[in-house]
Amino acid sequence: MSHPCLSCGACCAHFRIAFHWSETDPFLGGTVPAELTEKLDAHRVVMRGTHAPPMRCVALVGEIGKAAHCSIHPIKPSVCREVEPSWEFGRHSLQCDKGRIAHGLAPLTPEDWIGVDGAGAA
């Protein structure tokens, strides 16, 4: 069974993805491509497509709720790494639920993780 996030993408098309600009500066250890961001304020940038509605991160590939994934997954911003899918690690995630509900998807349940490779791993 595949990871539920690979058929979702809802959080990437619901929330503003804002983070410190240093995450785009390779000289400071940043990995997020600067060309995928735009300035929010003096200290933060946002992923293009998430500054104002309709939200959809420029790095999101595919159809929400069918087959979707982050095109920069290994180097995605810290705020994206912090969002946990509901119940993957045995706990509820309000952010995950909000994103899914906003796109007409049911919130994940513990049963959605049965048979998923790597589920529950830290």
Q: How far apart (Å, rounded) are the C-alpha atoms in residues 73 and 23?
A: 14
- How confident is the model over 14-41, as pLDDT tens digits? 999 999 999 999 999 999 999 999 999 9
pLDDT tens profile 34-76: 999 999 999 999 999 999 999 999 999 999 999 999 999 999 9
pTM of the prediction? 0.89
For the CA atoms of 90, 7, 61, 47, what is the dihedral angle to 10 degrees? -30
